[in-house]
Amino acid sequence: MAAPKAIQAQSLVGIAEVDETFFLHSRKGERGLDRKPRRRGGSAAKRGTSKEQVPVLVARDRATATANLILDADSKACVVIALKPLLPADTILCTDGSNVLAAAAKEIGVTHRPVNMAAGQRVIAGVYHIQNVNAFDSRLKNWMRRFHGVATRYLDSYLGWFRILDRSPATGLIPASLLALAIGHSTSIN
């Protein structure tokens, strides 16, 4: 069931959108916890981002090539390591203006177009926005909600399955293709 985690974009072209999303760190299914178990996914003890949250970088270009990268930390160094192999030098990177993402774009050496969502700015020059990646994040979060928390050790597999399912309306995947993928025959996927 882990095969789809390796099926993701290896390079983004043209205008790429990047955003961070966070999932609650979960040890679902583990025995001998050093804390009281949370019920049905639970919630973090602290508001906002903290060590209880697992950062996931979502990168998507306008041709819907998508990569989800689980980061060790929400830091410039981790973002650079994750994004550098994905972004050719001629890529234009659109972000929400996060300081971490802006610093990473500068270090990678790609053109950066920050969109100031807090100021109500949604689109720059008619083409630079992060609406595609935000829509993907929303669909991902809604899909994950049904599991009431996902064990962090399996998060990359869940992300992979969602990438496959999210693109299936466009590629016309059929149940037999998904079953072939589940048993490890990734060549059956377009």
% residues pLDDT > 90 (the chain)? 47
More confident residue, 166 or 129: 129
What pLDDT score does 1 carry? 57
% residues pLDDT > 70 (the chain)? 76
Q: What's the mean pLDDT in 72-77?
A: 92
Q: For residue 117, is pLDDT > 70?
A: yes
Measured distance CA(170)–CA(87) in Å, rounded: 24
What pLDDT score does 45 carry? 58
Measured distance CA(55)–CA(75) in Å, rounded: 10
The pairing of beta strand 92-95 with beta strand 111-114: parallel
pLDDT, tens only, 92-107 = 999 998 899 999 999 9
What pLDDT score does 172 carry? 59
SS3 content of the chain, % helix, strand, coil (to 5): 35, 20, 45
Q: Determine the angle formed by the axes of helices 76-83 and 99-108, rounding to 10 degrees.
A: 50
44 membership: H or E segment, kind and range: none
Q: For residue 133, is pLDDT > 90?
A: yes
36, 113 in Cβ contact below 8 A? no
pLDDT, tens only, 135-166 = 999 999 999 998 887 888 889 988 988 988 88
Measured distance CA(181)–CA(5) in Å, rounded: 11
Four-point Cα dihedral 69, 72, 73, 74, nearest 10: 0
List the one residue out of 146, 159, 173 whose CA is nearest residue 68. 159
Going along the chain from its start, the domains and CATH numbers come out as 3-188 (3.30.420.10)
Extract the tokens encoding 153.
């050790």
pLDDT, tens only, 4-22 = 777 888 999 999 999 999 9
14-48 as b/e, with b when 16 or more CB fall inside 10 Å? ebbbbbbbbbbebbbeeeeeeeeebeeeeeeeeee
More confident residue, 73 or 121: 73
CA distance between the termini of the chain: 18
**pTM for the model:** 0.82
pLDDT, tens only, 162-182 = 988 887 665 556 666 666 766
Q: For residue 190, is pLDDT > 50?
A: no
